[in-house]
Amino acid sequence: AARRVSGRAAAPIAVRAGRRSLVCEARKVALLGAAGGIGQPLALLLKMNKFVTELALYDIANVVGVAADLSHCNTPVKVTGYTGPEELGACLKGADLIVIPAGVPRKPGMTRDDLFNTNAGIVKALVEAVAKHAPNAVLEIITNPVNSTVPIAVETLKLAGVYDPKKVIGVTSLDIVRANTFVSEAKGLDMKDVDVPVIGGHAGSTILPLLSQTTPPVTFTEAEKKAMTDKIANAGTVVVEAKAGKGSATLSMAYAAARMAESTLLGLNGEPNIYECAFVQSDVVADCPFFASKVLLGPNGVAKVMGLGELDAFEQAAMAAMLPQLKSEIQKGLDFVKSPP
């Protein structure tokens, strides 16, 4: 089989859903924060995904109507809605994959880290319920700041005695989707052919595209390299500013998360050679316990964290410059659970 790397998945979801899967298992996906800006379009894309059999939607508000609305689409996915903490257990029970976009988004002028005070507690509480009701599910965290919320989820699962490093994934696929789009546009390439790995984390300069590893090979001048790297790292902020107080990226994020979910389900179903970039527990960079890099997805979640390959001088310098921020945001998440404020 052809070795599929992250960028191949830039093809529309419906096209990708036509892939052959070795095993078509019944798969329950739980979506927490399902009535939100990301939650609603992501729920629609999952309702259209042929690898999903049941879609359980949870939110603290407005989810009953979203579930009723979505359930009328004549695809075979069974949709259920759950509101409030007392219904969370039922939503999670039996889930193979849990996706979390619950939490507040940025407004202009804010960094992702400014969301920590609100979103850290939301993620911790939801993951406590995951530990209790679906400890074997693969967990995908979209809620920002991802550099901290993933460590929070991991420490919470460790405290509950159910942590499995293969099962916790920080969703950075939007960075790859953006990198693929911007590089194809800049170089006049077909979108579906372009694959740019993006490593590091998911905030500011911790978002590091490896343009030197672009497929197909592309050349950039030093100035182009810097401009393209900044454009990819700042793309979230551009959307926040354009939405002018009405939130951050939702549609492109739903697209990117649906792609990550589909790749995860393909891996769970035994499809070989499914690769995505994701923020996971990692030892690819010394003294950095979490890192986004290419991972192989398999029947239990993350089957293998891949190495970084060769970085050019520009990428090496960018990596050295961003590591202190990434490490400190990771530590902030770990401390939130280990030594609560």
Residues carrying an active site annotation? 202
Helices (H), 99-201: 116-133, 146-159, 173-187
Task: Point out which residues bind ligand LMR (CB under 6 A).
Answer: 105-106, 112, 144, 174, 202, 236-237, 239-240, 248-249
CB of residue 20 to ligand NAD, shortest distance in Å? 29
For ligand NAD, the closer of residues 197 and 271 by Cβ is 197
**SS3 of residue 92 by DSSP:** helix
239 binds, among ligand LMR, ligand NAD, none (CB under 5 to 8 A by kind): ligand LMR
- As a whole number of angstroms, the distance between CA 216 and CA 235 comes to 23
Tokens (6 digits) for 247: 């939130």
The one among 105, 200, 209, 267 contacting ligand NAD by CB under 6 A: 105
Q: Which is nearer to ligand NAD, 127 or 183 (CB)?
A: 127
Considering only 119, 156, 205, 229, the residue that binds ligand NAD (CB under 6 A) is 119
Quote the distance between the C-alpha of residue 34 and its chain's center.
15
For residues 240 to 259, the per-residue mask of contacts with ligand NAD, x marking binding by CB under 6 A and - elsewhere, is: -------xxxx--x------
How far apart (Å, rounded) are the C-alpha atoms in residues 341 and 335? 8
Q: Does 6 bind ligand NAD (CB under 6 A)?
A: no
- Smallest gap from Cβ 61 to ligand NAD, in A, equals 5
Q: What is the 3-state secondary structure (H, E, C) of 155-184?
A: HHHHHCCCCCHHHEEECCHHHHHHHHHHHH
Cα(66)–Cα(44) distance, integer angstroms: 10
- Distance CA(98)–CA(89), nearest Å, equals 12
In the complex, the smallest distance separating the C-beta of residue 217 from ligand NAD, rounded to whole angstroms, is: 27
Q: Does 201 bind ligand NAD (CB under 6 A)?
A: no
Give the C-alpha separation, 258 to 236, whole Å.
Answer: 18
Instruction: Give me the residues that bind ligand NAD (CB under 6 A), please.
Output: 32-33, 35-39, 58-61, 101-106, 115, 119, 122, 126, 142-144, 146, 171, 174, 202, 247-250, 253
